[in-house]
Structures are given as structure tokens and as C-alpha cells.
């Protein structure tokens, strides 16, 4: 009798657990860099799902998407294909904080990403729950043992053996959805939760925590009186997220969003029913994001505010569902309906989906290296919401970095690490792996020290070289980038060497633009004139008949680089100082408990976070400048002994 084999064993180079925004980028990066990759998801319907807001980008998140694109990621291209409305936020402020945001057609976004994954060479999608991580101890050759990942086991018992595993489990680990008295043990939109993997993480000694987030109700478009709302159109001039696209590639008819407000009546309904909110009754134990509070949180914490903005955004062209941005809640169903109906235009609103809060398990990311590999388990990586972050874009960039690094280490190549002076991605990852976060981490422009250098328009100048070196940016895109860079440099030089004469024509022009005329016989370069607040590269066109035809991106970049030249130079000097500390590497084997001058808290933090360099050590909360000095002296002494 032939014995039937109970469980299958499959071999591949990389396993990615989770097909959300982190998992899609991680899997594409691995596969595109040549690794035979299997992408697991508890449900194929959750591929690139947007369970909350129907948009990509926004303040600081737009920066992340442009950086991801410059490195060869997919999110920017995917939203360029599927957006319904596009807007540059903060355009009245300086270019450092301009942030592109696009409303997505959710279904189209998911469908297009799935198509990309399904057609990617080296990549297979598998609907199954990864239940257990397979890791074992290995002698590293020096007598010390290191734990190494071997693969995953699914709930059916099948084993997928791979030397690289990336965890991108998002909001699905032991997920619990709650509103009012109702609780359901599912992931978002009623999709299955993953209920086994947390135990495996705990068994491996990985610190697990519980966070929560929430989403607003969706309302049927036909039940809204739009004549009472303020329309919010998109920009007339469209800008793509992806550097591979030109504005004409993404031209389309845009959809409208709308604005309304809560009022005293809405707030009264919330206050009267606050005892029924699981957030306030103590049913929800997980920690929520401070910067994305629920409407009940806003009303209770800011009693003096008599109204809050609510943006009404379409979920897609395929549906009548409208998303009520700013109204996330976990109040009971009847209270949700009552509060929504108090708003102008919503008197007869019909709720399609209730608002709810979701709790899930995630890890303390300080156990990771800046490559997103676990310090204590070789070959195992984590990216996205599992690392305590919140947001599609935050997840996507981590997925990309983890995917690239898993592939580079598989091929024995140098890792890719982006530091805080090179990108918002660097700021995000450095914060996650260095500072113990007690609440879901959201990217914000204020978290970046070198904001003027980290603009979304120059993300390609900062990162495309790295993306190409890693192998993710194609030669065609790289050549396009080099051409753009060349045009930019040539035009900046031309503006420095092209002078407007101090003649009648120039001075008439300057007066017409509210600018001081030039003193007699002293011409000024275009580069100098651009610095005047009332002038710009575009405005100076009239004085500049020799100007070459340039793409819009290059024109904007020339303007910014010249206008803010002085500030940019100063920030570059700060970066020089920062780099000095970042390049002071700390050996991996330091025993901080034996360094006598360090305070106890600093010893404990340094021992557990194990910073890679002095700069990172100084950013750990609980490590003071005095501790850093002790560490520097200790490192010097160690060098000489």
C-alpha cells in the first residue's frame, strides 16, 4: 500500500506573508530582483485593499509615494492609473510641504495591483494562512548560535521553505472589529482574520502589542443632498505621482469631493451616547493613533470647538458609496445614524456600511534593523502595520525596503538603507526601529529634520540612483532620469549665466510685477531675480527669450532649487554634520551593560535596540547627550586597546 503524504513541502527563495500595501511592494521587489517568491494572503480579496480612506498621498504621505516610485516601487504607478481626482495640498505654502493626494477608485486600484502581481515573473499568489514561522538555531562558525528562518507552515500543515520571509500581516492578526455593543472577530470588511501567527511570534520571543484604528461609515450617494454641500474640485493641472509618467499620460475627467461640517446638534448626540462607545466604556483596549482620532474623541477632547470638517469622498466609479472623512467612530449603529443625520445635506442619509474600530496584534519594531530584518532571526523581515505604523503609504515603503533588502542579502549584496537626510522613508524607518512607539505611527512632515531637502519633486534626484543600483529601476527609466537631471543642471547653469540688463524693458517688467527696478547699469542674473518673492521662473519667461522648452517637472525644480538656494545650502551643511555621526559605526558585539559611565536606562535601551551608529544611538529616547559622549570615549578607547 502506498503511503499518502499528509503535507506538502514547497521550496522557494522568498515568502511574503500578507498582500496588503506592504506585501504587494515586498513581493514585487523580491520577484523583480530574481527571487522565486510566494505571496500569502488569508484572502485574495484583500490584495491591495483600501479598508479605510479612498486616497493615496496627502501631507508627507505624498512624499513617501514619490520616494517609493523613485526607488522602483509600484504604488505611484498604480494610483496614476486609477485615480478619480488629484490635488496638490499645501500649494500656498513653501515647496517643502507640497503634497500630492489622489482620490482612488478603490476597486480599480485593487484590480490593477492584482493584475500587476499576477503577471509578474517569479511571483505566485497563494490564498492560505501562514500559521507558524519555521526557525532554527545555527552555528555561525565562531561557536555562537544564531537563529535562522527556514520558512512558514500554513494552517493546512503545508510547509513553504524559504531562506527569506517577510511578514506584512497588517491589521489582520487576531483582528477584532467593534462598534457599540457589537464585536466580530474578523479583519476589515468582514474578511477572515489570521488567528494563529501571533502565538508563533510570541514563541520566538518577539514582543507583541495591541493597537487599534477606526473607519467612518459609508453613505449612499442618492441619500445625500449635494446642493447643501461645498464642492471640492481637483486641480486643473494634473501632476503624476510616478516619475515614469508625464502629465499628459494621466489626463482624465475628474470627480468632485464635497465638504460639510458637524454642528452642536451632532456633538450633543455624541455626548448623550458616549457611555455606549466602546472607546470610552473600556471595551477597546488597543492604543489608537493620536493624529487620526474618532469623531467621539474629537468632540470629547475639544469641547470648545463648535464644528469639525467632514469631507465626502467617492469610494469609486463602481459604487454609490461615499466615505465620510473625519468621522471615524465606533459608536452603536443607531447613534451613528442619528449623528450623521444632524449634518447639513445628510438629513435623510442612508448608511451602507457602519463605522467601526479594529484592534489587531503588531510588534515592537525596535527588534528590527534599519533593513527591517529581525536582529535575532536571520532572514526574517517585517514591514507595514505589523511594525506599529498606520497608513497605506507608510506600509508600502516599508514593504519595498524589506523586499529589496531580503533580495540583496539573498544575493550576498550590500543592504539598502536610506538615512534621515535622504528621505522620509529614512525618517519613518529610523523612528520605528529606534523609538519605542506606544501608538500607531503616522508619517508627518514635522518628523523630518531636513524638510527643504526632502521634497517630493526631487525624490528622483535623491533616490533613483539607489533604486537603479539595487536593480529595481529599469535602464529605460534610469536613462529618462539622467536626461531630466541633465536638463535641470544645464538650465540652472544657464539661469546663473543669463543676465537681465538694467534697461527700460527690464524695469518696466519688474514694476509691472511689483518688484524693485534694477539700479542703472547693473544687470542681474535670472538666478538672482528668481529669489525675489514676487518673481518666479515662470514669471521671468517674458525677460528670457532664449529659454529652452522644458518638461513641467524640470521647470518647477529649477524654480525651487534657485529660489531657496540659500536655505538649501544651509540645510546641506546640517546634513554634513549629521552624516559624521551616522558614519560612526558601532560594532554589533558591544556589551552595553559593561560600559560603566552609562546610566542604567541608557544601558538597557542600547542593549535592546543595538543601534548601528552613534547618530541612531543619540535618537533613542532615554539615551542622553552625556551617554553619547561616554559611548564615543568608550569606542575610542576600544580602538586603541
Q: Which residues are near ligand FAD by CB under 6 A?
A: 17-23, 40-43, 46, 51-53, 129-130, 168-173, 188, 194, 197, 213-215, 292, 358, 384-385, 390-392, 395
Which CA distances in Å does 540 have to 413, 496, 544, 557?
Answer: 48, 13, 6, 15
Question: Which run of H or E residues covers position 208?
Answer: strand 208-215
Beta carbon of residue 343, minimum distance to ligand FAD (angstroms, whole number): 19
Q: What is the smallest separation between the CB atom of 627 and ligand FAD, expressed in angstroms?
A: 34
Nearer to ligand FAD, 49 or 487 (CB): 49
Q: Which is nearer to ligand FAD, 127 or 515 (CB)?
A: 127
Smallest distance, ligand FAD to C-beta of residue 58, A: 9
State in angstroms the smallest separation of the CB of 188 from ligand FAD: 4
- Residue 473 CB, nearest approach to ligand FAD (Å): 22
Q: Where does 498-536 have alpha helices with state H?
A: 504-512, 526-530
Whole-number Å distance between alpha carbons of 273 and 258 = 28
- C-alpha–C-alpha distance, residues 31 and 579, integer Å: 33
Which one-letter DSSP state was computed for residue 76?
H
Closer CB to ligand FAD, residue 86 or residue 329?
Answer: 329
Number of helices and strands (H, E) in the chain? 20, 25
Q: Which is nearer to ligand FAD, 38 or 70 (CB)?
A: 38
Q: Return the C-alpha cell found at 479.
A: 536613462
Q: In terms of CB distance, is 73 or 391 closer to ligand FAD?
A: 391
Cβ-proximal residues to 337 (8 Å cutoff; 6+ apart), any chain: 349, 351
Can you state the angle between helices 459-470 and 475-497, rounded to 10 degrees? 150
CB 241, CB 100: distance < 8 Å: yes
Distance CA(106)–CA(113), nearest Å, equals 11
Smallest separation (angstroms) from ligand FAD to the CB of 392: 5
Which of 42, 113 has the CB closer to ligand FAD? 42
8 Å CB contact between 501 and 543:
no
- Between 18 and 62, name the residue whose CB sits nearer to ligand FAD: 18
| CB 365 to ligand FAD: min, Å | 12
Name which of 110 and 560 has its Cβ closer to ligand FAD: 110
Q: Read off the C-alpha cell for 48.
A: 491591495
d(CA 544, CA 499): 9
The least distance separating ligand FAD from the CB of residue 602, rounded to whole angstroms, comes to 32
Rounded CA-CA distance 196/125 in Å is 20
Q: Are strands 123-127 and 37-41 parallel, antiparallel or unpaired?
A: parallel
Q: Pick the closer one to ligand FAD by CB: 57 or 240.
A: 57
Kindly tell me which of 366 and 464 has the beta carbon lying closer to ligand FAD.
366
The rounded distance, in Å, linking the Cα atoms of 515 and 535 is: 8
Shortest distance, position 48 Cβ to ligand FAD, whole Å: 8
Shortest approach of ligand FAD to residue 37 CB, angstroms? Answer: 14
* Closest CB 355 distance from ligand FAD, rounded Å: 9
Shortest distance, CB of residue 195 to ligand FAD, whole angstroms?
8
Provide, rounded to whole angstroms, the least separation between the CB of residue 603 and ligand FAD. 33
For residues 611 and 47, give the distance between their C-alpha atoms in angstroms, rounded to a whole number.
34
Nearest distance in Å: CB 513, ligand FAD? 41
CA distance 97 to 89: 8
Q: Which is nearer to ligand FAD, 209 or 579 (CB)?
A: 209
**Contact present, 16 and 38 (Cβ < 8 Å):** yes
Compute φ and ψ for 194, nearest 5 degrees: -105, 115
Q: What are the backbone dihedrals phi and psi of residue 123, each rounded to the nearest 5 degrees, phi first?
A: -120, 130
Would you say 443 or 459 has its CB closer to ligand FAD? 443
Phi and psi for 552 in degrees, rounded to 5?
-55, -45
SS3 291: coil
Nearer to ligand FAD, 47 or 488 (CB): 47
Tell me how far apart the alpha carbons of residues 419 and 584 are, in angstroms, rounded to a whole number.
Answer: 14
Q: Considering the complex, what minimum distance in angstroms separates the CB of residue 379 from ligand FAD?
A: 18
Which residues in 178-187 are b (16+ Cβ under 10 Å) and which e? bbbeebeeeb
Distances (CA, A) of 525 to 504, 517, 546: 16, 14, 14
CA dihedral 18, 21, 24, 25 (to 10 degrees): -130
Q: How far is CA 402 from the centre of its chain?
A: 13
Question: What are the φ and ψ backbone dihedral angles of 224, each rounded to 5 degrees?
Answer: -105, 135
Q: Residue 181 and residue 334: Cα distance in Å, rounded?
A: 11
Residue 66's alpha-carbon distances to 240, 393, 519, 550, in angstroms, are 9, 10, 43, 21
Name which of 310 and 529 has its Cβ closer to ligand FAD. Answer: 310
What is the end-to-end Cα distance of the chain in Å, rounded? 69
User: Residue 166: which of 363, 380, 400 has the closest Cα?
Assistant: 380
Give 18 or 467: the residue with its C-beta nearer to ligand FAD: 18
CB 67 to ligand FAD: min, Å: 17
Amino acid at each position: 500500500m502506498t503511503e499518502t503524504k499528509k503535507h506538502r513541502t514547497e521550496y522557494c527563495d522568498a515568502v511574503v506573508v500578507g498582500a496588503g500595501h506592504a506585501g504587494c511592494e515586498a513581493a514585487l521587489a523580491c520577484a523583480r530582483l530574481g527571487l522565486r517568491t510566494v505571496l500569502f494572503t488569508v484572502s485574495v480579496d484583500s490584495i491591495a485593499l483600501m479598508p479605510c480612506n479612498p486616497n493615496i498621498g496627502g501631507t508627507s504621505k505624498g512624499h513617501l509615494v514619490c520616494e517609493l516610485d523613485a526607488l522602483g516601487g509600484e504604488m505611484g504607478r498604480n494610483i496614476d492609473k486609477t485615480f478619480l481626482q488629484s490635488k496638490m495640498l499645501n500649494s500656498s505654502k513653501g515647496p517643502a510641504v507640497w503634497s500630492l493626494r489622489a482620490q482612488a477608485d478603490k476597486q480599480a486600484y485593487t484590480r490593477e495591483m492584482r493584475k500587476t502581481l499576477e503577471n509578474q515573473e517569479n511571483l505566485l499568489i497563494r490564498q492560505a494562512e501562514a500559521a507558524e514561522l519555521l526557525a532554527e538555531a545555527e552555528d555561525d562558525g565562531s561557536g555562537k548560535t544564531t537563529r535562522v528562518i527556514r520558512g512558514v507552515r500554513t494552517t493546512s500543515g503545508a510547509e513553504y521553505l524559504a531562506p527569506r520571509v517577510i511578514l506584512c500581516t497588517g491589521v489582520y492578526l487576531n483582528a477584532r472589529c467593534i462598534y457599540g455593543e457589537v464585536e466580530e472577530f474578523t479583519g476589515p470588511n468582514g474578511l477572515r482574520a489570521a488567528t494563529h501567527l501571533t502565538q508563533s511570534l510570541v514563541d520566538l520571543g518577539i514582543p507583541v502589542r495591541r493597537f487599534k484604528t477606526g473607519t467612518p461609515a459609508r453613505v449612499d450617494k442618492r441619500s445625500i443632498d449635494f446642493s447643501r454641500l461645498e464642492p471640492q474640485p481637483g486641480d486643473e493641472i494634473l501632476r503624476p505621482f510616478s516619475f515614469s509618467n508625464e502629465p499628459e499620460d494621466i489626463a482624465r475627467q475628474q470627480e468632485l469631493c464635497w465638504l460639510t461640517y458637524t454642528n452642536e446638534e451632532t456633538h450633543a448626540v455624541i455626548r448623550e451616547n458616549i457611555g455606549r462607545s466602546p472607546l470610552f466604556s473600556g471595551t477597546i483596549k488597543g492604543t489608537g493613533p493620536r493624529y487620526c482620532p474618532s469623531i467621539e474623541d474629537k468632540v470629547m477632547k475639544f469641547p470648545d470647538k463648535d464644528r469639525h470638517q467632514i469631507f465626502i469622498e467617492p469610494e469609486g466609479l463602481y459604487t454609490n458609496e461615499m466615505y465620510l472623512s473625519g468621522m471615524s467612530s465606533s459608536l452603536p449603529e443607531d447613534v451613528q445614524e442619528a449623528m450623521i443625520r444632524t449634518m447639513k445635506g445628510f438629513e435623510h442619509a442612508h448608511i451602507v456600511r457602519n463605522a467601526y474600530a479594529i484592534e489587531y496584534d503588531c510588534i515592537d519594531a525596535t527588534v528590527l534593523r534599519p533593513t527591517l530584518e529581525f536582529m535575532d532571526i536571520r532572514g526574517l523581515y517585517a514591514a507595514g502595520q505589523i511594525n506599529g505604523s498606520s497608513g497605506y503609504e507608510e506600509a508600502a515603503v516599508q514593504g519595498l525596503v524589506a523586499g529589496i533588502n531580503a533580495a540583496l542579502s539573498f544575493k550576498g549584496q550590500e543592504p539598502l538603507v536610506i538615512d534621515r537626510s535622504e528621505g522620509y522613508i529614512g525618517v519613518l524607518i529610523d523612528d520605528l526601529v529606534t523609538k519605542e512607539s506606544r501608538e500607531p505611527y503616522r508619517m508627518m512632515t514635522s518628523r523630518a529634520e531636513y524638510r527643504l531637502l526632502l521634497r517630493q519633486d526631487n525624490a528622483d534626484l535623491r533616490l533613483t540612483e539607489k533604486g537603479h543600483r539595487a536593480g529595481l529601476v529599469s535602464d529605460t527609466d534610469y536613462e529618462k532620469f539622467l536626461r531630466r537631471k541633465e536638463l535641470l543642471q544645464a538650465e540652472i547653469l544657464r539661469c546663473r549665466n543669463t543676465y537681465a540688463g538694467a534697461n527700460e524693458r527690464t524695469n518696466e517688467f519688474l514694476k509691472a510685477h511689483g518688484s524693485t527696478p534694477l539700479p542703472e547699469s547693473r544687470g542681474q542674473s535670472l538666478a538672482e531675480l528668481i529669489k525675489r518673492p514676487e518673481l518666479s521662473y515662470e514669471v521671468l519667461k517674458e525677460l528670457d527669450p532664449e529659454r529652452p522648452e522644458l518638461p513641467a517637472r524640470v521647470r518647477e525644480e529649477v524654480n525651487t532649487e534657485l529660489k531657496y538656494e540659500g536655505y538649501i545650502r544651509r540645510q546641506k551643511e546640517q546634513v554634513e554634520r549629521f552624516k559624521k555621526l551616522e558614519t560612526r559605526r558601532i560594532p554589533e558585539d558591544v556589551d552595553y551593560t559593561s560600559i560603566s559611565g552609562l546610566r542604567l536606562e541608557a544601558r538597557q535601551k542600547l542593549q535592546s535596540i543595538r543601534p548601528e551608529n552613534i547618530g541612531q544611538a543619540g535618537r533613542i529616547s532615554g539615551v542622553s547627550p552625556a551617554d553619547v559622549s561616554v559611548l564615543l570615549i568608550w569606542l575610542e578607547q576600544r580602538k586603541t586597546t
